[in-house]
């Protein structure tokens, strides 16, 4: 994704930077590599560990049994490949505030998508993220129609290449005020209108707990429209342990029970030792 995504994460990334000195970079000091059950394919979002080099994050993640790093731009892909990992969600065109719900953005977004999608395919990655954009007074109906119109211009290419477009569900209550794709029903309706197996939702569990709750039933009822998940503790987007309100083990059991084959990527800001918190999160979700 372009630098617009980096700006999206600036505030949260600063918090992640505060724990940078705690990061363990000596691979020899790491605990023995753990074997996972594999019912949930887990990944980790790179931006949460901004003070850690991507090389070091790859070493640590691989040692914990992960096979992928989330939310990377094309310049980072050779690094994860060097470590035998993949990018589970490639950054795409545009940013959160200026997305597909604005027709004036379509030509620019289409051009960049047409450039990126073949690169994602060539790298062997499954998904590319997209965003609705902010409302700016636009009705939900108009936003749906505009997103449908724009995404239809690239969906055939995504189908031909076998890359899934994933529009992220974000909360507009606390973190991304005015963002339009802020409820699962809106996102599901968009997927139904596009009518392609290559158009899915990135269901961010943290964001949807804030906006609507009812996580397990919503996931079960709409799993065919979900291509990817993100984690994060509520409130605060910190560890997904007993300090927050979501029962992540129960949510993961629900996801595994649907037969979901995509990735669940950890996108929380650690308040404690970052690698210890990530290892704990992986264990919680390994159902």
- DSSP-derived pairing of the beta strands 226-231 and 164-168: unpaired
What's the CA angle centered on 89, arms 33 and 98, to 5 degrees? 145
Residue 133 lies in a domain: yes
For residues 120 and 158, give the distance between their C-alpha atoms in angstroms, rounded to a whole number.
Answer: 10
Predicted local distance difference test score (pLDDT) of residue 162: 98
Q: Hey, CA dihedral for 172, 222, 254, 124, is it positive or negative?
A: negative
Predicted local distance difference test score (pLDDT) of residue 93: 97
Predicted local distance difference test score (pLDDT) of residue 17: 45
Predicted local distance difference test score (pLDDT) of residue 30: 55
Predicted local distance difference test score (pLDDT) of residue 33: 62
Does the model's pTM come out above 0.75? yes
Distances in Å between the Cα of 243 and the Cα atoms of 63, 232, 238, 240 are: 26, 12, 9, 7
Q: What is the CATH number of the domain that holds 112?
A: 3.20.20.150
Residue 16 lies in a domain: no
Residues 106, 143 contacting (CB under 8 angstroms) = no
Predicted local distance difference test score (pLDDT) of residue 174: 97
For residues 105 and 102, give the distance between their C-alpha atoms in angstroms, rounded to a whole number.
Answer: 6
Residue 34 phi/psi, 5-degree rounding, is -100, 145
Question: Which range of residues forms the domain containing residue 149?
Answer: 41-285
Residue 33 lies in a domain: no
For residues 232 and 225, give the distance between their C-alpha atoms in angstroms, rounded to a whole number.
Answer: 21
Predicted local distance difference test score (pLDDT) of residue 27: 42
Smallest CA-to-CA distance from 180 within 210, 150, 144 is with: 144
For residues 117 and 93, give the distance between their C-alpha atoms in angstroms, rounded to a whole number.
Answer: 10
Predicted local distance difference test score (pLDDT) of residue 31: 58
**Residue written as token pair 């790491």:** 30
- H, E, C per residue of the chain: CCHHHHHHCHHHHHHHHCCHHHCCCCHHHCCCCCCCCCCCEEEEEHHHHCCCCHHHHHHHHHHCCCCEEEEECHHHHHHHHHCCCEEEEECCCCCCCCCCCCHHHHHHHHHHHHHHHHHHHHHCCCEEEECCCECCCCCHHHHHHHHHHHHHHHHHHHHHHCCEEEEECCCCCCCCCCECCCCHHHHHHHHHHHCCCCEEEEEEHHHHHHHCCCHHHHHHHHHHHEEEEEECCCCCCCCCCCCCCCCHHHHHHHHHHCCCCCEEEECCCCCCCHHHHHHHHHHHHCC
Residue 74: which residues within 8 A CB-CB, separation 6 or more?
90, 91, 116, 119, 123
Predicted local distance difference test score (pLDDT) of residue 140: 98
**Residue written as token pair 């887990």:** 42
Residue 77 lies in a domain: yes
Residue 49 lies in a domain: yes
pLDDT averages per 10-residue partition of the chain, 287 residues: 41 44 45 80 97 97 97 98 98 97 98 98 98 98 98 98 98 98 98 98 98 98 98 98 97 98 98 98 98
Number of domains in the chain: 1
Residue 155 lies in a domain: yes
**Hey, what are 187's tokens?**
């996102």
Residue 89 lies in a domain: yes
Smallest CA-to-CA distance from 121 within 91, 182, 162 is with: 162
Residue 7 lies in a domain: no
**Residue written as token pair 């005020």:** 177
């Amino acid at each position: 994704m372009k630098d617009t995504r980096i700006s999206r994460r600036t505030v949260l990334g600063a918090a992640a930077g505060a724990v940078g000195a705690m990061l363990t970079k000596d691979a020899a000091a790491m605990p023995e590599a753990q074997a996972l059950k594999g019912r949930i394919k887990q990944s980790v979002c790179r931006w949460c560990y901004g003070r850690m080099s991507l090389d070091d994050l790859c070493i640590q993640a691989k040692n914990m049994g992960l096979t992928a790093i989330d939310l990377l731009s094309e310049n980072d892909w050779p690094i994860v490949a060097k470590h035998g990992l993949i990018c589970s969600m490639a950054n795409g065109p545009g940013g959160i505030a200026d997305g597909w719900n604005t027709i004036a953005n379509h030509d620019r977004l289409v051009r960049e998508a047409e450039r990126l999608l073949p690169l994602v395919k060539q790298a062997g990655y499954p998904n590319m993220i997209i965003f609705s954009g902010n409302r700016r007074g636009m009705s939900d109906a108009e936003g749906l129609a505009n997103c449908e119109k724009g995404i239809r211009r690239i969906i055939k290419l995504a189908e031909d290449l076998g890359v899934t477009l994933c529009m992220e569900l974000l909360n507009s209550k606390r973190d991304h005020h005015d963002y339009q794709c802020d409820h699962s029903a809106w996102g599901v309706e968009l997927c139904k209108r596009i009518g392609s197996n290559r158009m899915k939702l990135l269901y961010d569990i943290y964001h949807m707990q804030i906006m609507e709750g009812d996580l397990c039933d919503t996931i079960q009822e709409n799993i065919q429209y979900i291509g990817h998940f993100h984690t994060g503790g509520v409130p605060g987007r910190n560890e997904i342990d007993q300090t927050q309100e979501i029962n992540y083990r129960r949510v993961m059991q629900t996801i595994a029970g649907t037969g979901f084959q995509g990735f669940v990527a950890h996108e929380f800001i650690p308040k404690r030792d970052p690698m210890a918190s990530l290892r704990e999160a992986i264990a919680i979700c390994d159902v």
